Structure 1
């Protein structure tokens, strides 16, 4: 498949759409294992992270399934597909946008935040600490923390932008699935990042607040990369093990 630079859809959507067409046309049959991530990346002339996003999109649409320790297979009895437009925003794109925008929001908030707002942020942090990073309550508190910082910027437009960016993660099944996986790969508790942001805001230091927010969201991007890389490495290891087993079997004939 040749991917046109004039095509407005995301690369992962193009790859997912092409593979979905191949499945419907019978080129990939039910129960058949799809080519390796490396082979698909070479075939479609895209990066391996793009292939990973495409695989997650196809899994959400019910066309493929990941079998632990084996690879990605066409589902035996595909369920009705989720419409592709619901898969519009990827987690990498969303978090990159948040890093750019919320870094500046934090810098502005550092110059205008009140003691009452700092107290509110500290209270939200306490809720996050009790709830834990990987729970619904923890995520809800996380959202409130970031929106409260936007509110402290005294800019209603920025509040709306931050709210919309958070809402996008729930509207996109692809984004939600990837961020859920990434939360399991946290190298350090995210509460530590939020404490650093609050500390910078208390200091009324815009540069420090900007850096703390950008470092926090940069860590989220790193967690996303780690999550997709671990999945890919595990599949690669199992593919090599399967080849070795097959070679050993053939050698014994």
Structure 2
């Protein structure tokens, strides 16, 4: 049997770790900007962000808000790339495919009791958001309840597995934690649109609502893991304003 090809983000980590060890990038030195690394490795921004966060977990680099990613003073990996497992982008892409089809099937198979329970869980999600809870219990229950409404045990098992990966994978957990710290919460309007489509027995609408929702989750992850784009521009603008203020006071 042919061995599976290594994950793209792990190949990036291996290369950059080698270059850090060889002295190409020294302690305290900033890594090249995201756009350069994306071009160099010919990968998406999603894959590169996974690699950078993986290197943070390994203790090789640190991300400085609004500045970029820097080599740590004492790189010393206690976690290997193989221990990182699945990243949040990869997981959410899989969820988008699987849960989109589950929602479409649920729109055909769900009964009024299923819809009523989904609306109750949605109310719980609203309450969790208002209380600033970040354990995502209601969010998980909502998506698993849709799987149960399909009346397909294999889909339920698959959905549980995808959700469990969120907490088993150090890379995924780190990325989601960063997203939560940036203020991202379960999107109530997105979830309501999914329930409404299932209630209307609209398979196409349910699939689209779910896929749109998880597409926005990916967008939120991108925004929360921004390395050197908008935040750096904001930091530079703030510095310029401060300097202008100092000069004006002379």
Q: Is TM (by shorter chain) over 0.5?
A: yes
Matched, 1:206 2:207: no
Match of 1:100 among 73, 97, 101: 97
Task: Give, in angstroms, the shift of residue 79 of structure 1.
Answer: 5.1
Matched, 1:58 2:48: no
1:251 paired residue number: none
Counterpart CA distance in 2 for 1:41 and 1:112 is: 43
Task: Give, in angstroms, the shift of residue 91 of structure 1.
Answer: 2.0
Question: Structure 1 residues 199, 173: closer, same or farther in 2, change over 3 A?
Answer: same
Counterpart CA distance in 1 for 2:28 and 2:218 is: 33
Q: Structure 2 unaligned segments of length 5 or more: list them.
A: 241-250
Q: Do the aligned partners of 2:25 and 2:31 also contact (CA within 8 Å) in 1?
A: yes
Question: Structure 1 residues 7, 108: closer, same or farther in 2, change over 3 A?
Answer: closer
TM norm structure 2: 0.81
Question: Structure 1 residues 7, 19: closer, same or farther in 2, change over 3 A?
Answer: farther
Matched, 1:128 2:125: yes
Task: Give, in angstroms, the shift of residue 77 of structure 1.
Answer: 2.8
Task: Give, in angstroms, the shift of residue 62 of structure 1.
Answer: 1.1
Counterpart CA distance in 1 for 2:113 and 2:147 is: 14
Between Structure 1 and Structure 2, how many residues are aligned?
234
Q: CA-atom RMSD, angstroms?
A: 2.7
Task: Give, in angstroms, the shift of residue 106 of structure 1.
Answer: 1.1
Match of 1:219 among 208, 216, 219: 216
Q: Structure 1 unaligned segments of length 5 or more: list them.
A: 1-5, 245-253
Of structures 1 and 2, the one scoring higher in RCO (CA 8 A, sep 6+) is: 2
String of CA shifts for 1:166-186, please: whole Å, max 9, x gaps.
Answer: 111222222223233345375
Deviates more, 1:146-155 or 1:31-40: 31-40
String of CA shifts for 1:81-119, please: whole Å, max 9, x gaps.
Answer: 223223232222211111111111111112222222222
Question: Structure 1 residues 113, 59: closer, same or farther in 2, change over 3 A?
Answer: same
Counterpart CA distance in 1 for 2:102 and 2:153 is: 11
Deviates more, 1:15-24 or 1:151-160: 15-24
Q: Do the aligned partners of 1:33 and 1:74 also contact (CA within 8 Å) in 2?
A: yes
Q: What are the residue-to-residue correspondences of 1:1-253 with 2, within 5 Å?
A: 8-78=5-75, 80-132=77-129, 135-137=133-135, 139-183=136-180, 184=182, 186=184, 190-228=187-225, 230-234=226-230, 237=233
Write out the 4+ residue segments of structure 1 that deviate beyond 6 Å after TM superposition: 238-241
Q: Do the aligned partners of 1:32 and 1:73 also contact (CA within 8 Å) in 2?
A: yes
TM norm structure 1: 0.81
